[in-house]
Amino acid sequence: MARKVFIAATGMNCGKTTTSLSLMHRARKKYPRVGFVKPIGPKPIAYNGQIVDKDAVLMARYFNKLDDLHLMSPLVLKQGDTRRILEGEIDRELLIQQMFDAIAELDAKNDFLIIEGAGHTGVGSVLGCNNARIAKETDSTVLMVTGGGLGNVVDNAQMNMALFQKEKARVNAILVNKIIPAKREQTLKYLEIAFAAERIKVIGGFNYQPILANPTMRRIADLLDVELRATEEEAQRIVHTVQIGAASAQRVVEILEDSTLIVVNVSRDELLVTLANLYQLAEYRKKIAGIVIPGLGKISTITHKILVSSGVPYMLAGRTSSTVFEMIRDDVSKLTVQDTHKIDLITELADEQLDFDTIDALLE
C-alpha cells in the first residue's frame, strides 16, 4: 500500500498539475517507487495508440512512466460521453470499476501515489463518482489546491470542502498557490486563522510567477492551430506581452516590452519588414518573441523572403487581428511535456518553496 495524496482544487487553473509535478519530483527523492494517476481525464489526446488524458502523458513522459500510462489515465471522457452515460449506452459501473482497479494496481506497486482530481470537487458526478468519492474510496488524504488571495480562497475552499465532508473524505491541508510575494506572510497568517476551526493545515505553495502563467510560442501556435516557423528554442520562448500592431511602425517599436508577441495584419508590409530587421539586433531580440500574422489575404513574396531570412519566429493565422488577440488573451497557459524550460523551473521552485515534508507527514 502506498502513501496516497489526492490533489483536489477549488476550480480550474489553480495549479493542480504544477503541484502534482512538484510533488512527484520531491517524492522521488525520498521514495524509490512513486506513481501518478488522473482517475478522470477531461482532456483526451491520442498517444501511442491510446486515448489518454494529456496531463497523464506529461507525467508519464517526463518521469519515464510510459509503461504505466494505461493505468495513469484509466477513464477518459470524450465528446458525447456524458450523454451516452446518461442514456445508458455506456455502463458507468464498468467504467468506475476499471478506474478503481487501475488505482489499486498503482497503489500496490508504489510507495507514494499522487492522485490528481479533475477540475473542482464535483467533477465526475455524472458518473456517480466525483472527486470526493474517489478520495474516500481510495482512502487518500486530500490536499486542496487554491489560487491566491484571501476571501476568495476561504469562500471557494469552504464550498468545495462541503462535498468532501458529505463523502466523509478527509481534507487535511490547503495548498495556496499564486501568492503575491510581498503579501505571502500576511496571506498565510490570515488563512491559518480562517481555517483554524476545521483544523486544516495551510501550506504556502508557489508565489505568482508570470513565467509560469504566460504561454510559450508553441502554445499560441497550438491554440491558433497554425504552423510556427521557429527553432525549438524559440518555440519554448515565453510570451510576456501581446501587442496589436495597429499603430505606425515607429510607435509599435517604441512601446515594445520584454518578450512581446506582435499581432500584425498581413497587409502591414512595412511593419513586418521593420520587425524582421530589428529581430537581428540583440537589444530587440530580447523584446520580440515573435509575430502572428492574421488576415485573409496573402503575404507578399518579398516580405515573406525577408521574414524567412531574418529568422524571426512567425506564424500565419487566417483570422482577423481582433479574433487572434481575443483567443490569446482568453487562453490560460497549460503545461505540456515540450515546455521543458517551464518544467525545469517548476522543479527548481519545488526544491526551494514546496514544503514536501509537511505534506508527507499529513499522509497517515
Write the DSSP assignment of 76-116 as a string of letters: E--TTHHHHHHTTSS-HHHHHHHHHHHHHHHHHH-SEEEEE
45 and 81 part of one domain: yes
Query: Which residues of the chain, if any, have pLDDT below 50?
Result: none
197 and 229 part of one domain: no
- Residue range 132-150, pLDDT digits in tens: 999 999 999 999 999 888 8
CATH of the domain at 303: 3.40.1390.20
Write the DSSP assignment of 253-276 as a string of letters: HHT--TTEEEE--TT-HHHHHHHH
Domain range for residue 10?
Answer: 3-210+336-361
CATH of the domain at 109: 3.40.50.300
Phi, psi of 109 (to 5 degrees): -100, 5
8 and 116 part of one domain: yes
Question: Which residues 6+ apart lie within 8 Å of 121 measured at CB?
Answer: 8, 130, 131, 132, 160, 161, 163, 164
225 and 349 part of one domain: no
Q: What is the pLDDT of residue 119?
A: 76
157 and 285 part of one domain: no
- Among candidate residues 220, 160, 149, 147, the one with its CA nearest the CA of residue 183: 149
CA distance 133 to 169: 7
- Among candidate residues 137, 141, 48, the one with its CA nearest the CA of residue 96: 137
- Looking at this protein, which amino acid is placed at residue 241? T
8 and 128 part of one domain: yes
- Residue range 176-219, pLDDT digits in tens: 998 888 999 999 999 999 998 888 999 998 888 777 778 899 99
CB 261 within 8 A of CB 291: yes
Q: What is the pLDDT of residue 345?
A: 87
60 and 183 part of one domain: yes
Q: What is the pLDDT of residue 94?
A: 87
In which region does residue 34 sit, left (phi positive, over 0), alpha (psi from -120 to 50) or beta (all else)?
Answer: beta
Q: What is the pLDDT of residue 364?
A: 66
CA distance 357 to 266: 54
CB 126 within 8 A of CB 133: no
169 and 294 part of one domain: no
CA distance 204 to 185: 9
Q: What is the pLDDT of residue 143?
A: 95
325 and 341 part of one domain: no
**Total of domains in the chain:** 2
78 and 197 part of one domain: yes
Q: What is the pLDDT of residue 266?
A: 93
129 and 87 part of one domain: yes
CA distance 141 to 155: 21
25 and 47 part of one domain: yes
Q: Could you give the C-alpha distances from 126 to 46, 86, 91, 123, 229, in angstroms and in order?
A: 24, 8, 12, 8, 42
Cell of 347: 522543479
Cell of 85: 452515460
